[in-house]
Structure 1
Amino acid sequence: MTTNNLVLAGTITRSRQFDSPAGIAHTVVMLEHKSQRYEAGMLRNVYCQIQVVLSGERFNGVAKNLTAGVEIQVEGFINLQQSRNGQNRLVLHAENVELKT
């Protein structure tokens, strides 16, 4: 098995909830991350947006709190998702979510 684990903190910019045809609850949020990190001895600004998917009943308790403006930390794995128009993007599938605000 190879390692696939990502921990990222940021602010939710969008959120939606739905049930799959199989009846599985899903919450999908767009997470915006801003920070500063040192690279090659120089400070750089870091910015990214990534879609986060929370699936299953274990997230039902926290899902109602995941609205725009809320700060969270997410731990999970990344996966490639292809949109209807054929564009690829990385998506973070949550295994643990912690509210920061």
Structure 2
Amino acid sequence: MTTNHLELSGKILRCRRFKSPAGIEHTVIQLEHKSQRFDAELPRNVYCVLQVVLSGERFESVTDELKAGVDIQVSGFLTLQQSRNGQSRLVLHAENVELKI
């Protein structure tokens, strides 16, 4: 059995919306995560920026509130996405999104 699940919280840096040629609504978020974890019994500052994709009608109720500066928690699965210029990057496809108020 394989597992692919990630839960991450952070602040939205950028957000854009578009409709695919198949008519599916997509919201693409650039999520900035900052935290501190312990690694080898020493504190370690953690920082990452990850692209998050929300696809389909189930996210319509929350997409209007997704703007730069908003804190969210998102969970979903990771996949490799290849851009038009051939570069690959890791992307989180959201299964659940919660606003952190």
Which TM class, normalised by the smaller chain length? over 0.9
The superposition leaves residues 37-72 of structure 1 with CA deviations (integer Å, 9 ceiling, x where unpaired) of 000000000000000000000000000101000000
Q: C-alpha displacement at 1:16, in angstroms?
A: 0.5
Q: C-alpha displacement at 1:21, in angstroms?
A: 1.0
Structure 1 unpaired stretches of 5+:
none
Name the SS for the 2:22 alignment partner: coil
Deviates more, 1:59-68 or 1:83-92: 83-92
2: CA distance, partners of 1:47 / 1:85: 26
2: CA distance, partners of 1:66 / 1:25: 14
Q: C-alpha displacement at 1:86, in angstroms?
A: 1.5
Answering whether residue 97 of structure 2 is matched by residue 90 of structure 1, we say no
Deviates more, 1:65-74 or 1:17-26: 17-26
1:18-33 alignment runs, 5 A limit: 18-33=18-33
1: CA distance, partners of 2:2 / 2:65: 33
The superposition leaves residues 2-47 of structure 1 with CA deviations (integer Å, 9 ceiling, x where unpaired) of 1000000000000001111111111000000000000000000000
1: CA distance, partners of 2:99 / 2:82: 29
Name the SS for the 1:76 alignment partner: strand
In the alignment, what sits opposite 1:80?
A: 80
In the alignment, what sits opposite 1:42?
A: 42
Name the SS for the 2:85 alignment partner: coil
Paired residues, what number?
101
